[in-house]
Amino acid sequence: MGATVGVLGTVSASAISGWSNRQQIRTQARIDHAHWRRQARRDAYSAFLTPAHEARTTLRQAARALIGDVDTATADQRLQAAQEHLGAVQAAWAALAIEGPESVEQAANGLRTALRSMHTTLLAWRDSAEGAFDHNVPFVERHAVEVTRLAERMGVFTATARAALEEEVASPPPPASGQS
């Protein structure tokens, strides 16, 4: 009888230990997956923000070239460079749209749209640069509004991305269904 109790105790302890080890492995796997997921999102957000900053800087330089003496050659170079940066923004936005969450994708889309709008305005301004200065006033005014809008959208994107990453850290991953 004592031997049976000893064997049952050993088997029970082994089963409990095995179950505990499996639970610990599952928990660690969920933590590792959440960490990997957060890192992938952080990389996608950074990969979007970098060309967006470059596009904004290049668009500002193009606007400066159009002000005053109307340096269209420099403006053309800057607008072409901005177009390339906007291509990189588009590609990074596509990856970000998959990574999510939706709030970050929407903020990124707003920023992407603001950059494209500014580029379009500067192209129109450039095309009108041949005329009298008075014809450029609407473009200068529109550009001023777009500079403000772009700054706001960049701030919204950054804050939304930061909040999404902090939310992932604050909320532990849920246990997989069907596991106890």
Per residue in 38-88, pLDDT tens? 899 999 999 999 999 999 999 999 998 888 666 688 889 999 999 999 999
Rounded to an integer, what distance in angstroms lies between the CA atom of residue 134 and that of residue 59? Answer: 22
Rounded to an integer, what distance in angstroms lies between the CA atom of residue 103 and that of residue 156? Answer: 10
Q: Which amino acid is present at 106?
A: Q
Q: What is the pLDDT of residue 6?
A: 74
Q: Which amino acid is present at 129?
A: A
Cβ atoms within 10 A of the Cβ of 153, count? 21
Mean pLDDT to the nearest integer, 31-42: 87
- 94: tokens are 């596509």
State the chain's mean pLDDT as an integer: 86
pTM over 0.95: no
Q: Which domains are delineated in the chain?
A: 11-170 (1.20.1440.210)
Rounded to an integer, what distance in angstroms lies between the CA atom of residue 179 and that of residue 123? Answer: 58
